[in-house]
Every structure is written in C-alpha cells, then in structure tokens.
Amino acid sequence: VRTENVPSGSRRFLTIFVATVAGWLAVVAVVNFVVNPYGNYRTSYFTPYSWNVRQAKATHLRETAVPNALILGSSRSFALSPEYIHQHTGLLAYNASVPSGRMIDHLAILRLTLSRPTAERLKVVLLGLDLGSFWPDIITPMELRATPSLFRYAGSEPARFSFSLVDDLRLIAFSQFEDSIRTLGQARTGQPPNLSVDPDGVVHFAQREQELRAGSYDLDAAVAEEMPYLEESYARKWQLSETHTARFMQIVELCHSYGIRLVVSLMPDHPRAIERLRSLGWEENRDRLLALLKQEQARGPWFDLFDFSSIDRFGGTSDAFINATHVTAPNAEKMLAPMLQTMSDAVQ
Amino acid sequence: MPFNSYPFFFGFLPVVAVGWWRLSGTARAKWWLLGANVAFLVCWDYRYVPQLAAVIVVTWLVARAMLRGSGSVRWWCVTGLAVLAANLAVLKWLSVPPAHSTSVSAEDVRVGIMPLGISFVTFNLASLLIDISRRLVTRDVSLHDCFSFATCFPYVMAGPLVRWNQVRPELHGAVPVRPDQVFRGLFLISIGLGKKVLLADPIGMRLDHLMTFGDAGFVGSWLAMTAFAAQIYFDFSGYSDMAVGVGALLGFELPQNFSSPYRATNPADFWRRWHMSLSCWVRDYVYLSLGLGRSRTRAIFNTFVAMLLIGLWHGAAWTFLLWGFYHACLLSIYHVSQTITSTRTVRIPQLVARFGMFAAVTIGWALFRADSLLTSGRLIAGMTGLYGPGGLRLVLNHAGRAMPVLVALALAITQLLPEPYEVGVTSAPWVAVTLGTLFAISLMSIGGTNPFLYLQF
C-alpha cells in the first residue's frame, strides 16, 4: 500500500493494523511449516501428529516387496484386510487405500507399483469404489499434491489457480496451527501418534480403536455426524466426471496390459444413511454408476464387478460399521469372501 | 468471491480500496467502482451478469421515462415494479431453495439455483422507481449510476438495502474517504468476520449435527432453535457489519441492519431492531402506502400484508410464508393489547419482557429453519414437550459438549455487549493491534466454504 494513496490521517492506524495481521499470519505460517504436523512440507523436525498416509504407503510400496494383491480405494477400503486375503489365498497383499482417495490416487499408486523391477509379482488389483467415486467434487486431492513421491506418478494434471491458492493458504490455517501445537506436545511427552500405518498398509486410528475395544464407541452419533456432508453432496446432483472415468479406464487398461486381474467392488453405505439418502437419489446414483461400469466392462478389457453398495448384497450387518460409510472387519470379511475365488483364479 | 474468503481479503479488497483512495475525487473514480462491481459479479459467475444487466437496463429505461415525463409517471412506475416483481417471482418460484435454509452454499448460488442477491437488487431498484414517482429523486439517472447502484459490491450480496439518495454521491467517488471511515471500516470488518467464523460457523456446524439426529425432545428442540437464533443473528449481522465496513473503507455510509434485536421487549421493538433496512423498506414502501386512517382493522390488515411480504421475500416456501404470518400475529396481538391496556397501568419487568420476546422469536425460527411444514411442526411440537423432555446427555452426544457453552456465550454477547456501530473507534495504536489480532485469528479460522445464510435470499 503506497502511503500517498491512503486517506491522510489513517496511515499510521492502517500500517499498524496491516503489520499486526501480517505478523500473526507469519508466526502461524512459520510454526506450521517448521513443525509440519501433517508431513506435507519438506521439513521433518517432528513426528507428524497425523501421518501423511499417502507418503507412508508410497514409501512401503517403493521399498518393500511388490505384493501379489494390491487393494486400492478411499478410506472406505481401510477395513479390507491383507492378512485375511493372505490366510485364504496365500497371496501377499497390501492395502494401498488412502484417505479421500480419488481415481488419480489409485492410478498413481498402481503406476508406482508397476514401476518396480519385480512388478510381475502383482497378480490382482482390488479397487473399492463408492457412489461418489466419479463425482467431480475433488479432481486432485491436495494431500496427493503434497506428496511429491507419489504425485509424480499421477501424470500431467494442470493445477487450477484457485485450488493451489487455497492450498498455499492452508499454511495459515488455525486448525493446522492447533495440530502443530499438539505435535509439539506429543514430541514433549513422547506419546505415539493417533494415526499410524502398518507395513501391510493397514491404517490404525488409536483413539477410535480404543473406544471400539472399550465398547464406548457411539455408532449412532458417528452416522449422524456424517449425514449433513452426504446429504449436501447428494443434493448437488453431480454428474459423473469424465476425468475420473478416463482415469478409471487407464487403470483397467494398465491392469490388462500387465496381465493383472482387476476386481472392482462398490463399498456399502450404512442402512440408515441409505434410508435418508433415498429421497436425494441414492438409488439413481447407484444405478447410474453401475450402468457406467457395466458399459465400460462390455466395451473395454474385462474386469470383475461386485455390487456391495448395501449390506443385503453381501449379508452384512448394520452394526459392523464405523460410521455411515466405513465398515469394520466383520463386514469387510463378508465382502472379501466372494472375491477370494476370483483372486485365486487370477494366480492360477 | 464471498466476504469470508482469502481471495477477497488478499486480492480484491486491497486492490479496489487502494485504487479508490487514489482516484477518489476524480472523474475516473466512478469507472473504477463500476469495474470493481463487474469484476465482483464475474468472479461469482459471469453467466449471471447478462440477466442482471437486462433487469437493470429495463429499470433504467423506466426511470428515465419517468424523470423525463414521458407519459404517466404512475403508469411507468407500476410497469417497472411489475417487471421487477415478475423477474423476482419467476426466479424464486422456478428455483425453489433446496433442503433447508443452511444447505444453500455459495456453489449452489453460483451454479444458478439462485442468482446472487436477487432479492436485494430487486428491492433496491424498486425503491429507486418509487422514489422517482414520489419526486424524492428528481435529477437524471445515468445507466452507469443505475448499474453501480444495483450492483455495488459492498451490499449486492445480501444488503443492507439502500436508497438512491443515500449513496448517489459516493457512487461517483465525489466524496473523499475520511480517516475515521477507515478506522470504522476496519473495525466493522474485523468484528463482522469474527462473528461469522468464530461464533456463527461453529454453532451452525454443531446445529447441523443436532438437526440430523432428528426428533429431539423438549431440551434438544429448544437447544437447537436457540442455537439457530444465535447462528442466524451472528451470521447475518456479521455479514452486515462487514458490508458496512467495506462500504466505509470506500467512503460509503451504509445503514446499519441490526440494533441488539434479542434485547427487544415486544414484537414492534423486535422489528425496529432486526434486519432494519428491510423492515424500513417495507414500512416506507408497503405499510404506509396502504394508508393508515384511524381504523385498527386497517392497521392489522397492513401489518399482515407487510409481514407476509417479508416472509415471501425470503423464498417461495410455505415455511417462510408461515413465519411472516406468525410475526404478523405477534405484532397484531401486541398492538391490540396496547390499545386495550393503554388506559390501565400494566407493567411487565423488562427482563421478563425481553425473555418472553426472545422465546417467541425462537419459536418463529422453527418455521424459518425447517425445510418443510412437517419438520417445523415436529420442531414446535418438540419445543412444547409433546415428544417428552429428552435427555441432555443424548443431545450433547450429537451436538458436542461445546454446543451449550457456545450458544450461552453467543447469547450473553447479544445481551451484554453493544452493537459495533455504537462503539466509538479511536485511532490509538492499541486499537489497531487489537483489531489486527482479532482479524488475523478470524482469517486463520476461515475453514472450507461456509456461505453466509442470507446469500440465498
């Protein structure tokens, strides 16, 4: 601000005001950058409060043996157990699903795995989709762009100005500052982080698991908590994104060209969520997505398709959920059971 | 580009304000403001601009015909108002707001569910035509003036409603910005943003959880509607403070919209304090236009017309209509009771009256907040205890333990602290540091997209 442009008499006030705002923003930005609570920046002085799941899984996939079965998907696929697959098929499995995972994440992870010299070990890819997987709400998650080791496998993706601006300004977010303070507190007390990733890709949320074990976890509240977001999303009547569809087909073709069996499954919603979303077009969304998948199935390279969008499709139970959209182990195992034969066939 | 966004604060506002200060007093100032207004609308959605421009051009043609005495002024005025009303009705009735009042996001407005601030633009343009017909505006109105008046970015989104004579000199950039306006502008913007992101948004987020939970008992229903009372006040008054503050930075003296409405002691007092620019508009252009006379029946009739219009102005939904009807009933009962008791001395302690009025307004919010008559019926039934007392623990599980604390804090502020307009702002350094700190905390707390509730109107 050039001072001659400011109404005379208010320059000093305006200067102090702007300097105070800039000072606070700079302090918060520097703390967030140095502490790096989500592991998004290049600094690594402290263990992140919440791990960057993409970073952790990219490191595993780059540095450990290539699995025979790779699980891709969003956090809805977290409960699909590599250990269960190994016990029933003998396949070495890895759960590479990531929070808010989008098609570009799945494509990048698959490409990273196939870039390994021993990529031929990969025989099966299990891709968990949901009714929102093809919605155009998030084309490229910012967490992916904050993970260069994975993002470079995502292919060319022109960054939208508004997105990058918002991402850069996350550095001044008060919520991140709170997590920076928590991270510092964690460093002082030496407590383990709330979120951690096992060598087979299984993600643990310490607090939630503790509540589940203690029987104090409130499933009703968790379902209710997620509903506003789901209702708002369904109310928008999003069309299926061509970008996501194109990337999905890239995954299909990539699997085909490497001789990998692709198994696609629709992950379930909680019955109460379905009931509430029915008037907002839940069934139409499911039918539209299934129609798209079947159309691509008929047109291009074959992939197996399992519709587990509601619990009655696989004999699941309504209490084996974490919230409106995420299942726990009992439901996940019931979903995996019919897919095991397909996986075994792939190895044969 | 809503007020509570980084692009607005880090890009648009500083550029426009500095440019305006530099050009203020020159012939180029008005073009700078017009450019800023167009840029603001285009950033929101360029597809909205042609439609808005068409409405403004039609209004300008009618205004010019009235000012030049081409035919009957009354006929032109009625024609212009009919065009504006038809445009508003078509947009409102053809694009019924989705779900409930908080579900309309900036994205919904942008994709064309509802053009930005259409109700505010329509009422501003209507006031111009009526003022011309009443000879309150006699000088020629240029197309540029008309466009700037209707789309001026500080108030185009959600008011406050302004009159032509209030802002015309400023629209030309003829009035230099005074230093005290800069202090006041920054003060109001900081307070307004704080109201929105530190109080209204956290309460709204928890309220959504509580509303999703469904049928709550007496405790839950009252907590929910009290929370909504706090949310809508801090959301809308926060926006209004920011609008007036942004206007002040550019030298505009925009009218204040709120005057501690939850301290009202009766329905008439409430409407003198709540959304003042709208209630004044309806009083001046509708209520008084219908004629008063000495008949009590006539006054009650006018009240119902005015309040039903205010209800419908918010949207084409039965819930809004019923909300207007409810307030018309409150006002009528109050006026009748005043007439009856005017000869007797009936004194209600002020605290009791204030509490009673707040309870009455909160019951009204159940009509306003609900997405259907069925839901509002359930809410009101819950508030009357028809679904039992309900458990506080159950409610807290769904709304979070911070909810009652936040709501109590918000209500305490409404009762104990003055409106920011009533505070004298000095240019002392500590004031700048305090405001800068509040503004920085608010900026850092802007999370995701939480649109202002009144954007949908």
Name the phi and psi angles at B12, rounded to 5: -60, -55
ipTM at complex level: 0.79
Task: Identify the pLDDT of residue B457.
Answer: 66
> In 10 A of CB B411, how many CB atoms?
17
Using left for φ > 0, alpha for ψ between -120 and 50, and beta otherwise, residue A167 falls in alpha
Closest Cα to residue B362, out of B421, B407, B416, B300? B407
> In the predicted model, what is the mean pLDDT of residues B243-265?
91
In chain B, which residues have their Cβ closer than 8 Å to the Cβ of A174? 441, 444-445
Residue A124: which H helix or E strand, with range? Answer: strand A124-129
C-beta atoms of B212 and A224 within 8 A: yes
CA-to-CA separations, B303 to A235, A244, B124, B282, B329, in angstroms, rounded = 37, 55, 22, 10, 9
Average the pLDDT over each of B61-75, B178-192, B298-312 and give the range with the smallest value. Answer: B61-75
Helix (H, G, I), strand (E, B), or coil: what is residue A203?
Answer: strand
Task: Identify the pLDDT of residue B105.
Answer: 38
Q: Are strands A124-129 and A69-73 parallel, antiparallel or unpaired?
A: parallel
> In 10 A of CB B158, how many CB atoms?
25
In chain A, which residues have their Cβ closer than 8 Å to the Cβ of B215? none
Residue B429 C-alpha, separation from nearest chain A C-alpha, in angstroms:
6
Residue A301 C-alpha, separation from nearest chain B C-alpha, in angstroms:
37
Give catalytic status of residue B100 as yes or no.
Answer: no
A105 or B316, which is more confident: A105
Task: Identify the pLDDT of residue B412.
Answer: 94
Pick the catalytic residue from B314, B327, B335, B398.
B314
In chain B, which residues have their Cβ closer than 8 Å to the Cβ of A19? 436
B63 or B206, which is more confident: B63
Task: Identify the pLDDT of residue A59.
Answer: 80
**B376-423 pLDDT per residue, tens:** 888 888 888 887 777 777 677 667 778 889 999 999 999 998 888 888
- Buried-state track B358-388, b at ≥16 Cβ within 10 A, e below 16: bebbbbbbbbbbbbeeebbebbbebbeeebe
C-beta atoms of A1 and B14 within 8 A: yes
Peptide bond into A193 cis (omega under 30): no
Confidence check: pLDDT of B247 > 70: yes
Task: Identify the pLDDT of residue A7.
Answer: 60
Confidence check: pLDDT of B101 > 80: no
Where does the pLDDT of residue B108 fall: very low under 50, low under 70, confident under 90, or very high at 90 and above?
Answer: very low
Enter the pTM of the model: 0.71
C-beta atoms of A8 and B179 within 8 A: yes
Cβ under 8 Å to B: A residues 45-104 = none
C-beta atoms of B439 and A18 within 8 A: no
One pLDDT digit (tens) per residue for chain A, 348 residues: 344 455 656 788 888 999 999 999 999 999 988 988 776 677 878 876 666 788 788 888 888 899 999 999 999 999 999 999 999 988 999 999 999 899 989 999 999 999 888 889 999 999 999 988 888 766 667 677 666 678 778 764 333 334 444 445 678 888 778 888 888 888 888 777 777 888 899 998 888 888 888 888 889 888 988 887 788 778 767 788 888 888 899 999 999 999 999 999 999 999 999 999 999 889 999 999 999 999 988 887 889 999 999 999 999 999 999 999 999 999 999 999 999 888 887 776
C-beta atoms of A172 and B443 within 8 A: yes
Cβ under 8 Å to A: B residues 142-181 = 176-179, 181
The answer to whether the CB of A125 falls within 8 A of the CB of A263 is: yes
> What one-character DSSP code corresponds to residue A123?
-
C-beta atoms of A224 and B213 within 8 A: yes
Cβ under 8 Å to B: A residues 201-260 = 218, 221, 224-225, 227-228, 231-232, 235-236
**B186-240 pLDDT per residue, tens:** 999 999 999 998 999 888 877 876 775 555 688 888 888 999 999 999 999 999 9
Average pLDDT, chain B: 83
Task: Identify the pLDDT of residue B423.
Answer: 80
The CA-to-CA distance between both ends of chain B, in Å, stands at: 17
Helix (H, G, I), strand (E, B), or coil: what is residue B285?
Answer: helix
> In the predicted model, what is the mean pLDDT of residues B110-125?
71
* A235 closest CB neighbour out of B103, B437, B439: B103
Name the phi and psi angles at A321, rounded to 5: -130, 160
B436 touches chain A (CB under 8 A): yes
Where does the pLDDT of residue B87 fall: very low under 50, low under 70, confident under 90, or very high at 90 and above?
Answer: confident
Where does the pLDDT of residue B99 fall: very low under 50, low under 70, confident under 90, or very high at 90 and above?
Answer: very low
Residues linked to residue A124 through DSSP beta bridges, in sequence order: A69, A261
Residue A244 C-alpha, separation from nearest chain B C-alpha, in angstroms:
21
C-beta atoms of A174 and B397 within 8 A: no
Task: Identify the pLDDT of residue B374.
Answer: 80
Q: Per the structure block, which two tokens stand in for A215?
A: 């029987």
Confidence check: pLDDT of B94 > 70: no
